[in-house]
Amino acid sequence: MGKNLVQKILTAHLIEGELIPGKEIAIRIDQTLTQDATGTMAYLQFEAMGVPRVKTELSVSYVDHNTLQSGFENADDHRFLQTVAAKHGIRFSRPGNGICHQVHLERFGVPGKTLLGSDSHTPTGGGIGMIAIGAGGLDVAVAMGGGPFYLTCPKVVGINLVGKLSPWVSAKDVILEVLRLLSVKGGVGKIVEYCGPGVASLSVPERATITNMGAELGATTSVFPSDEVTKAFLKAQGREDAWVKLGPDADAVYEETLTIDLSALEPAVACPHMPDIVKTVREVGPIKVDQVLIGSCTNSSYTDLMRVAGILKGKTVHPTVSLGIAPGSRQVFEMLARNGALGDLIAAGARILESACGPCIGMGQSPNSGAVSVRTFNRNFEGRSGTKDASIYLSSPEVAAAAALTGVLTDPRELGDAIDVVMPEQFLIDDRMVLEPAADPAAVEVLRGPNIKPLPINQPLPECLQAGVILKVGDNITTDHIMPAGAKILPLRSNIPAISQHVFAGVDATFAERAKAAGQGFIVGGQNYGQGSSREHAALAPMYLGIKAVITQSFARIHRANLINFGILPLTFADEADIAKVSQGDCLEIADLSAKLGVSETLEVRNATTGETFLVRPDLTPRQVAIIKAGGLLNYTREQA
């Protein structure tokens, strides 16, 4: 039986377990990346492990999220990250050098290698044939220390691409179609492998757009083969020697398959407030647009922005639209500046933003009240833009540029001939904004500002758990609901006592106060709880507030792993309908918790308020049970040592 590409790469990196979907496996990690918003915690955790120098082949620390610097906090964090990187053998991509995923694809990604990143869009690296996975900062810290990464062996979904994209239809429309078909939880427990004759027609940046937004499927990651197209891209990046040919065997088998005819796709958008509410632009019609934003790790490559520049050249942004553009990397930015395209964008009236995440994470450019904003980003969760009643539509750069010109949602095919952009044979290569680690680490002093507070440590799991339900929520709760980002809260990422006051702020303003006062508590949720970001603050801050267990109908992968890492028990209702047996404010009891955990498949929960009982499933591996009992991975690692 032939192997698919995922099986090949995972086999080559397998340290523990067998490749049987649903079973726990451990894999060796070749490369890691962090970004500043999750990186400060990851490096504090790495320091706590006492390993002097990273043991990976390559670790890179990027600064791209917190670049607004409206107070001292961000700059303090940047300085900490720069010095800690120099000391421990990590390369440091300075602020201004671009968005982690875009820069990593351009300068560091290697086909066939594994990459673990403390950001959920790390799967962007799948565009170049890597198994690139997003995880919590603590898991990345462990990988930097040479430890394996534990995950549930995923099923492999083969998406067979046939045909070729029509003019004005773009890679974003491909991933939007996959989201329409599979939904935001359709990828949980799965890796998506793209295969078939249509693959060869897609460039590396196009493939990266598709694997990037695979995160929104809840998938573990997504991957493309490494072929002649990959080789040409690496050659143009001056890295041809990093290329290897990689792909599935001709008779490869997949646990699930799906065929997408690229020729049949048309320009589409994801409608408010979920990335899987996908409709064609024609279906939505010419709704009035107030803001257009082009950028983010999904759609900010050289070819994306050249196409936008081609559309805007010689024209003017519509009088009632604000257009913002953030190039994905310094390479992209500088190439646009040198070839004149930046001039075309400026002349058209675009507001040029720094090369960073910016508005994608709510760092500025919040739209007006009730606005419609069309963005080339990957998430349109309610409130993420900073304006609670705004409606965010996710689209390709072509659709976004068309709306910027007309002031209404517009099918770009109405603009006439498509803009042809050729992939450069040689990108502009200048890595001076990536600092090498120090030659003499002992001489480096790690600088910490007052915003960097020590890591809070959890208590071991109690014998019995008796606590109130501090909050009950519905389906598809995102990490943006649990631990909001944005310009006011993001700067507090290194300060858990301060950031924890904002947990669930947009959902329930008094949550933090009530949790803290109660001392310990439960959260109850519906399906796909914790989808979205890899931010471990969505576990760490609730832990700090005393949350001991979260009971849901189902969890998103990274968030569940983060809960375990910080010693919060993730439980699912054995019978989903039992969610009706719990109301906010009820007191729940799990007797003999610590004795039963890891022994019985289900635990009985008694609702002391109503007298009813119901069963929940922990579904933990023996290793995870030990982590939970210890009160989290850091305590567990210390115990092991």
- The C-alpha atoms of residue 44 and residue 35 are separated, in whole angstroms, by 14
Cα Dmax for the chain: 72
Between 119 and 177, whose beta carbon lies closer to ligand SF4? 119
Shortest separation between residue 121's beta carbon and ligand SF4, angstroms = 5
Q: Which residues of 629-640 are buried (b: 16+ CB within 10 A; e: fewer)?
A: bbbbbbbbbeee
CA 345 to chain centre: 29
578 is catalytic: no
Residues 62-121 touching ligand SF4, rule: CB under 6 A, are: 65, 99, 119, 121
Pairwise CA distance, residues 51 & 428, whole Å? 36
Is 276 an annotated catalytic residue?
no
Is 119 a binder of ligand MIC (CB under 6 A)? yes
Spatial neighbors of 297 by CB under 8 A, at least 6 apart, are 99, 100, 101, 102, 121, 124, 212, 328, 357, 360, 378
Task: Give the residue among 602, 605, 562, 565 at the shortest CA–CA distance from 464.
Answer: 605
When CB distances to ligand MIC are compared, the closest residue is 535
Q: From the DSSP assignment, how many helices (H) and strands (E) are in the chain? A: 22, 27
Active site residue 389: no
Please report which helix (H) or strand (E) contains residue 404, including its range: helix 397-406
Q: How far is the CB of 566 from ligand MIC (least distance, A)?
A: 15
Tell me which residue of 582, 579, 574 sits closest to 604, measured CA to CA: 574
Q: How far apart are CA 514 and CA 183, in angstroms?
A: 34
Segment contacting ligand SF4 (CB under 6 A): 176-184, 353-361, 468-476, 500-508? 353-361
Given ligand MIC, ligand SF4, none, residue 296, with its beta carbon under 5 to 8 Å by kind, binds ligand SF4
**Which of the residues 379, 384, 493, 537 is marked catalytic?**
379
Q: How far is the CB of 384 from ligand MIC (least distance, A)?
A: 8
Respond yes or no: is residue 514 known to be catalytic: no
Site string for ligand SF4, 275-314 (x = CB under 6 A): ---------------------xx-----------------
Q: Does the footprint of ligand MIC cover residue 485 (CB under 6 A)? A: yes
Q: Does the annotation count 535 as an active-site position?
A: yes
Applying CB under 6 A, among 103, 156, 217, 360 the residue interacting with ligand SF4 is: 360
Query: Which of ligand MIC, ligand SF4, none binds 496 (CB below 5-8 Å, type-dependent)?
Result: none
Q: Of 476 and 635, which has the nearer Cβ to ligand MIC?
A: 476
Q: Is 88 a catalytic residue?
A: no
Neighbours of 280 (CB within 10 A): 16
Span from 119-127, 235-243, 262-270, 561-569 in contact with ligand MIC (CB under 6 A): 119-127
DSSP string, 339-353: HSHHHHHHHHT-EE-
Kindly state the DSSP code that residue 303 receives in the 8-state scheme: H
Catalytic residue among 13, 65, 104, 448: 65
Q: Which is nearer to ligand MIC, 74 or 534 (CB)?
A: 534
Site string for ligand SF4, 536-555 (x = CB under 6 A): --------------------
DSSP per residue, 150-217: EEEPPEEEEEEEES-PPTT--HHHHHHHHHHHH-TTTTTTEEEEEESTTGGGS-HHHHHHHHHGGGGG
Do 467 and 548 meet the contact criterion of CB atoms below 8 Å apart? yes
Q: Mask 14-53, x = binds ligand MIC (CB under 6 A)?
A: -----------------------xx---------------
Report, as residue numbers or ranges, the catalytic residues: 64-65, 119, 379, 533, 535
Binding site for ligand MIC (CB under 6 A): 37-38, 65, 119-121, 134, 361, 485, 532-535
